[in-house]
Amino acid sequence: MVYQQKPWLKLYDPRVSEHVSVKAESLYDFLEDAVNRFGDKPAFTFYGKVWSYNETKMIVDRLASSLHREGFKKGDRVAIMLPNCPQYIFTLFAIFRLGGIAVQVNPMYVEREIAFVLEDSGAKFMFSLDAFYPKVKKIQKDTDLKKVIVISFGVERKDLGFEDDYFEDVLQGDIENTETEIDPHVDIAVLQYTGGTTGVPKGVMLTHYNLLANFNQVCDFIYNTCENIPESFKMITVLPMFHVYGLSSVALSGMREGANQIILPRFDVKEMMETVKREKPFLFAAVPTMYFALNSQPKELAECGFDQIYFVGSGGAPLPVEQAKTFEKITGAKLMDGYGLSEASPTVIFNPPFVPRKYGSIGIPVQSTVVRIVSETEEGEFVDVPVGDAGQLIVKGPQVMKGYWNRPKDTEEAIKDGWLFTGDIAKMDEEGYFYILDRQKDMIIASGYNVYPREVEEVLYQLQEIEEVLVIGVPDEYRGETVKAFVKLKVGHSITVEEIIAFAKDNLAPYKAPKDVEIHADLPKSSVGKLLRRVLRDEELDKIKA
């Protein structure tokens, strides 16, 4: 049982304990603690406007009071469809104060995808950017949505529906006592939609304790060994908060440390470099495609000052070693890779500043976390593989999700005896460093986002000309992977590749829509008629190698 002996603990710095300490009882308690510690220090900066920790709590309390007057009660779901902005944080903590559940909605979703998340979660309230408001109203009739609260950064306000309001208008009332009793181990704080390892999107139930434990694990790894933390340091929050990596490992972690978070609503390579150069952040985290974009402008990148940043991290998708080396050669900084998944809030393993880095390794497990590499026997049992051998990575720790929303069968398949089965193929070396080798399932990671082939295929099947379709991920130097579809047309029907791509763009978020489509006379099948993705994937890889 070498994995349960935790060989990685020998790499821990003495200032990092084996087990994580979680002080706050709920995420709202965590906000109150941050306010007590940091008070009038700047918490968030958004294009020149600054909010302190005290101001953050005041807005949160006003918003919670307004929702309470609207009839919001513990357990109600609130959808959030926003780019990065301070209002995202204000909304989250107002929900947490009331014991509600925040439903994360990707702003890139099209109407069909928004409707699915709203219907599945049963959300009654929604916070939306004004640009997305028309899409939300089109599908509202098919959901339980009662009220939309709109955030606008423009001067001109558009007319809203009778029940809906602008964000500033709902802050006008008095602050009421809306404290709700929270059981942090039981009560859900966030529904993070993901396909898990396969299938249609599922709501990952993350409790207050899941998130509290995980961002404390991340912070302890990063900051406990740092002897020169600035009194008031800055960090850049560009990773999307609608994904749990950006929310937990960046935004909430920054609040624990009293950082002034320079919030950017989206990644633009020139704006990113200018911001780093101007603000001189103490921490920076991104997904690999962001580093690819930075690497593409070496002259400007070299002048940004990344070598002065204490911690530069990467996650969300595999980081190619050559891209990491290129970034480090240009900047002089050390780029640290890691691993996580939505079902683990998300961080499981990463490279902290106190360990020697090994290229290609995702690092070592965080506190209170046990990671094993297993294989399945013919009898259906899972046994540890020898050190250095490949197998499925499984995880046990306080950050592991409660389960999937209203999907007990899927939960049972994902969590067995407390172990989260990730579906990822990995190995561990003698020192306790881990390496991700491949994904057991068919999930595609394009630009750091999860894409599930079955969902894309279901959309393409809506075209009456298509008889069969298979979707795979093919290697892409910039995106990591890109989506490619293979289709067989019905006899006597015709449709062009361009028409298929256009249909996909209209019905899928940009990162999910196939960039390439091939029309085949036949698609590969097994002897029982099952379509075989792996055959097409192997053929594509062979083409690349040729």
**Secondary structure string (H, E, C) spanning 48-87:** CEEEEHHHHHHHHHHHHHHHHHCCCCCCCEEEEECCCCHH
Rounded mean pLDDT, 1-28: 94
pLDDT score for 196: 44
pLDDT score for 198: 46
Of 57-61, 197-201, 315-319, 528-532, the one with minimum mean pLDDT is 197-201
**Cβ 461 vs Cβ 476: under 8 Å:** no
50-55: long-range contacts (C-beta < 8 A, 24 or more apart)? 50/260, 51/86, 53/258
Rounded mean pLDDT, 322-345: 95
Rounded mean pLDDT, 481-492: 93
**Cβ 264 vs Cβ 275: under 8 Å:** yes
Measured from the Cβ of residue 171, the count of other Cβ atoms closer than 10 Å reads 17
Rounded mean pLDDT, 274-296: 93
Measured from the Cβ of residue 390, the count of other Cβ atoms closer than 10 Å reads 15
Q: Which tens digits make up the pLDDT trace of 417-473?
A: 999 999 998 999 999 999 998 777 777 889 888 888 878 988 998 998 998 899 999
Would you say the CATH fold of 451-545 matches that of 27-32+52-181?
Answer: no
Distance CA 481, CA 229 (A): 37
Tokens of 39: 């008070």
What's domain 451-545's architecture? 2-Layer Sandwich (3.30)
Of 221-230, 285-294, 306-315, the one with minimum mean pLDDT is 285-294
Q: Which tens digits make up the pLDDT trace of 86-106?
A: 999 999 999 999 999 999 999
Burial class (CB in 10 A: 0-12, 13-18, 19+), 5: exposed
Is residue 424 helix, strand or coil?
strand
Q: Which helix (H) or strand (E) holds 255?
A: helix 253-256
Half-sphere exposure of 150 (CA within 13 A, CB side): 22
Distance CA 278, CA 48 (A): 13
Residue 330 C-alpha from the chain's centroid: 28
- AA identity, residue 151: I
pLDDT score for 405: 98
27-32+52-181: CATH number: 3.40.50.980
**Cβ 202 vs Cβ 407: under 8 Å:** yes
Q: Which tens digits make up the pLDDT trace of 180-235?
A: 999 999 999 999 998 544 457 899 999 999 999 999 999 999 999 999 899 889 99
**In the chain, what percentage of residues exceed pLDDT 90?**
79
pLDDT score for 199: 56
pLDDT interval class at 529 (50, 70, 90): low
Using the structure block, give the residue that is written with the tokens 């098919």: 142
Q: Examine the pLDDT at 291 and tell me if it is beyond 70.
A: yes
pLDDT interval class at 517 (50, 70, 90): very high
pLDDT score for 35: 98
Q: What are the boundaries of each domain within the chain?
A: 3-22+203-439, 27-32+52-181, 451-545
Distance CA 268, CA 317 (A): 19
- Tell me yes or no: is domain 3-22+203-439 CATH 3.40.50.12780: yes
Q: In terms of Cα–Cα distance, which of 326, 262, 319 is closest to 286?
A: 319
**In the chain, what percentage of residues exceed pLDDT 70?**
98
Burial class (CB in 10 A: 0-12, 13-18, 19+), 98: buried
Distance CA 520, CA 188 (A): 46
pTM of structure? 0.88
**Cβ 329 vs Cβ 294: under 8 Å:** no
What are the counts of helices (DSSP H) followed by strands (DSSP E) for the chain?
16, 28
Q: In terms of Cα–Cα distance, which of 486, 473, 484 is closest to 521?
A: 486
Measured from the Cβ of residue 456, the count of other Cβ atoms closer than 10 Å reads 24
- DSSP assigned state of 213: H
